[in-house]
């Protein structure tokens, strides 16, 4: 708004209004006006910044937090992935609380409750990620390293995937919740009300609401995490408890996780010598992950040709010689209580 209020423009404007004295560069008047013009330029820059802070779409950081507090909306902190890890080894070997285990990539999990390996030779203990974040939602078998070896332990693994990890709410996500509060007609326990209540819970990234799902006086609430995955039981219980405190009397509310439909891609591509098949696969996986995540609760199909065309957005790809999604060559339909989740990406490349 004040882009034209530069030092030079301000100085020239002031000097243009001064008459009867010398205003040329180097004169006493010009030298006196210069520092004032510099300070005024700084002030106008601050005015521009203040205008940006005033509006949610252009604000950032703690200023959005303060706006949210005016409506009782607090930024959601990240949540920790949790699960169980099985330690195998010699009988009577102690696994203390606080023991660390990790994935090959170095993601650390901490044992919450210690134990002793029984005669059967293995013990399963609860663990939690050392930091919040969705990167800790790892697959079964991913945790298999002990950073500090324990005498008597021969192996460690997680039989089930880790769940519940979520990133801290971003500025954009917080703004979306504030605008939902201001713009959506959330009244009298309508669909928007249930969505807003569920979105206030830590670890929830989006929500789908089914009014009258099991008949009159019933509502089904289906949350997902910020990473676009089905939430774990702990998040579901928190959502149910929060809604129970808010809902109208006489309504039966069911909180459930959606079924995950894995989207597996297999492709063969011709590439230039400037890239490798591994690099193309990594680039495609990133594009595919963004597409899938943005599609959850927004589209009821995974578009075959959209997924195919993304290869041509990758530098070094000449042509795609074969391509399939879940073993076929057609769109994948997503049920109303399902969500699409990226599965395996298998790319074979031949240089041209």
Least confident of 11-15, 110-114, 220-224: 11-15
Q: Is the pLDDT of residue 268 over 80?
A: yes
Instruction: List Cβ neighbours of 139 (8 Å cut-off, separation of 6 or more).
Output: 161
Least confident of 113-122, 174-183, 305-314: 174-183
Q: Is the pLDDT of residue 253 over 90?
A: yes
Residue 339, φ and ψ in degrees, nearest 5: -130, 145
Q: How far apart are alpha carbons 116 and 254 in whole angstroms?
A: 39
45-65 per-position pLDDT tens digit: 888 777 778 788 888 888 899
Q: How far apart are alpha carbons 261 and 295 in whole angstroms?
A: 13
Report pLDDT for 346. Answer: 93
Report pLDDT for 163. Answer: 86
Q: Categorize the per-residue pLDDT at 234 as very low, low, confident or very high, splitting at 50, 70 and 90.
A: confident
Report pLDDT for 121. Answer: 93
Report pLDDT for 192. Answer: 87
Q: How far apart are alpha carbons 156 and 108 in whole angstroms?
A: 13
User: Which residue do the tokens 């939902």 mark?
Assistant: 180
Q: How far apart are alpha carbons 147 and 110 in whole angstroms?
A: 11
Q: Categorize the per-residue pLDDT at 98 as very low, low, confident or very high, splitting at 50, 70 and 90.
A: very high
Report pLDDT for 238. Answer: 92
Q: How far apart are alpha carbons 139 and 310 in whole angstroms?
A: 26
Q: How far apart are alpha carbons 156 and 144 in whole angstroms?
A: 5
- Element counts in the chain: helices (H) and strands (E): 8, 16
User: Is 127 buried (19+), middle (13-18) or exposed (0-12) by CB count in 10 A?
Assistant: buried
Share of the chain above pLDDT 90, in %: 52
170-210 per-position pLDDT tens digit: 888 898 888 888 887 777 778 888 998 999 898 898 999 99
Q: How far apart are alpha carbons 77 and 82 in whole angstroms?
A: 16
Q: Is the pLDDT of residue 13 over 90?
A: no
Compute CA distances 335 → 228, 299, 325, whole Å: 15, 10, 17
Instruction: Identify which of 79, 87, 89, 134 has the alpha carbon closest to the alpha carbon of residue 107.
Output: 134
């Amino acid at each position: 708004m004040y882009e034209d209020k530069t030092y030079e423009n301000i100085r020239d404007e002031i000097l243009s209004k001064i008459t009867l004295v010398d205003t040329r560069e180097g004169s006493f008047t010009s030298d006196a006006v210069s520092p004032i013009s510099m300070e005024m330029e700084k002030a106008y820059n601050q005015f521009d910044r203040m205008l940006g802070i005033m509006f949610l779409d252009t604000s950032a950081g703690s200023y959005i937090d303060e706006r949210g507090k005016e409506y009782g909306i607090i930024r959601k902190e990240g949540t920790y992935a949790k699960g169980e890890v099985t330690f195998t080894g010699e009988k009577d070997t102690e696994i203390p609380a606080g023991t660390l285990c990790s994935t090959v990539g170095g993601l650390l999990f901490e044992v919450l409750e210690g134990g002793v390996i029984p005669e059967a030779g293995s013990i399963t203990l609860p663990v939690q990620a050392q930091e919040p974040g969705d990167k800790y939602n790892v697959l079964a078998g991913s945790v298999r390293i002990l950073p500090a070896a324990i005498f008597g332990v021969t192996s460690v693994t997680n039989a089930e995937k880790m769940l519940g990890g979520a990133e801290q709410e971003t500025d954009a996500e917080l703004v979306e919740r504030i605008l939902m509060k201001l713009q959506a007609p959330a009244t009298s326990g309508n669909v928007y009300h249930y969505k807003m209540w569920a979105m206030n819970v830590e670890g929830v990234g989006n929500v789908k609401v089914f009014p009258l799902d099991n008949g009159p006086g019933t509502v089904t609430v289906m949350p997902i995490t910020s990473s676009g995955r089905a939430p774990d039981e702990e998040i579901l219980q928190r959502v149910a408890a929060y809604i129970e405190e808010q809902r109208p009397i006489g309504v039966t509310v069911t909180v459930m996780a959606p079924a995950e439909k894995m989207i597996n891609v297999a492709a063969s591509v011709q590439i230039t010598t400037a890239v490798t098949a591994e690099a193309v696969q990594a680039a495609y996986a990133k594009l595919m992950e963004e597409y899938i995540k943005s599609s959850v609760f927004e589209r009821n199909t995974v578009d075959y040709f959209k997924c195919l065309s993304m290869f041509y957005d990758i530098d070094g790809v000449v042509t795609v010689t074969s391509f399939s999604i879940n073993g076929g060559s057609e769109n994948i339909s997503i049920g109303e209580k399902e969500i699409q989740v990226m599965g395996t990406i298998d790319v074979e490349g031949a240089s041209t």
